[in-house]
Structure 1
Amino acid sequence: MKIYTKSGDKGETSLVAGVRVPKFADRVEAYGTCDEANSQIGLALALLPATEEWKELQDVFHVIQTKLFHVGAELATPEGKKVGWPIAEEDVTFLEEQIDMLDAKLPPLTNFILPGGHPAAAAFHVSRTVVRRAERKAVHVAQQEQVNPSVVKYLNRLSDYLFVVARHINKETSAVEKTLHE
């Protein structure tokens, strides 16, 4: 099988179930942004030190990246078609549990934090902003067509988790976390 199909050469692509749409369609923008977020998360993970202490976090992200792929698949599935891997409330709960676990180990927020610090933390901050964009695009699709409400919740919690992960990395690597000047 060749990697190229030539089927998109005229500016259209296929959603799940073969429905053809323009490459700028709202669903394509939404699932494409999820793909971008997933790639950015992969880059952020690659910037983590290659030590055993980060294995648990990497394992959690293996689950998250798989679920983010599923989010994209849901957004690529036209209304009325069956979704192969639906996002469920327990997926949202999983993220909430991960947020609570990491956040409990962090100093309380007293000011807005500027993205940066350790290179991996900075990359997770970029991931967070891409996920926020994916969330906005998913909300836009949901205003026009039926979208599983857990998809939007998942993206919302994922961006929160990425923020906490960036803070966690900065704490564990003793990187300075800069805040706004008052």
Structure 2
Amino acid sequence: MGNRLSKIATRTGDDGTTGLGDGSRVRKDAVRIAAIGDVDELNSNIGVLLCETLPDDVRAALTAIQHDLFDLGGELCMPGHTIVTDAHLARLDGWLEDYNGMLPPLKEFILPGGSRAAALAHVCRTVCRRAERTIVELGAQQEGSAPLAQTPRRYVNRLSDLLFVLARVLNRAAGGNDVLWRHDRGQARQEPEPFDNE
């Protein structure tokens, strides 16, 4: 591992292929590589979110999720290998229940915005949804051969829900509210309102 990490430019990918954890090589535009890339992009976006001022408990949860996503990328890189388990899902479910329980019920759709931290959480949510779609596609390709475990798909599905809830939590932590979609706004141009108003 140390030798691999010390030599970043290997040039082995110059032919448009990349190596998997089992030693096989696949094209860089393969669905498996797209899934790994989407998970990596999600992890990087969470890293940007972690640069913001966040409640300590939210920071701890997001840091743990970054480690989970690194594990998830590793699982996708090694066909037939399982790293993400039901315990990972249970932890997400626990956070989702706890944080959602702090929030008022939603009566309207909300827009991705408010505080910068909340907006970044929504960006993470949308990247997470893309990762989910790619993992679903990979699973469909693997049917009949070495089937993909269900936990990666379930993990990103529940994580996207958690990121939505955390965006709402972060808006409140910043002293604001949800940014509501106004279905009755008509065609008149609306001036943006201050963040702390609904």
Q: What TM-score comes out, normalization by structure 2 length? A: 0.84
Identify the match of residue 84 of structure 2 among 84, 87, 97.
87
Poorly superposed stretches of 4+, deviation over 3 Å: none
Q: Deviations over 1:52-98 (max 9, x none)?
A: xx22221112211111111111111224xx34xx1111211110110
Aligned-pair Cα RMSD in Å: 1.2
Distance of 2:177 and 2:10 partners within structure 1? 47
Residue aligning to 1:66: 67
Deviation at 1:42, TM superposition (A): 0.7
SS at match of 2:50: helix
1:120-139 matched pairs, under 5 angstroms: 120-139=117-136
Question: Runs of 5+ in structure 1 lacking a partner?
Answer: none
Identity of matched residues, %: 40
Whether the 8 Å CA contact 2:168–2:177 is kept in 1: the answer is no
Structure possessing the higher relative contact order (Cα contacts under 8 Å, 6 or more residues apart): 1
Q: Deviations over 1:91-130 (max 9, x none)?
A: 1111011011011111111111100111011001000000
Larger Rg: 2
Question: Runs of 5+ in structure 2 lacking a partner?
Answer: 1-5, 184-198
How many aligned positions are there?
A: 174
Letter in 1 for 2:14: D
Q: Deviations over 1:144-167 (max 9, x none)?
A: 111110110000000001001110
Residue aligning to 2:21: 16
Residue aligning to 1:6: 11
Residue aligning to 2:36: 31
Distance of 2:173 and 2:103 partners within structure 1? 10
Q: What TM-score comes out, normalization by structure 1 length? A: 0.91
Deviation at 1:175, TM superposition (A): 2.4
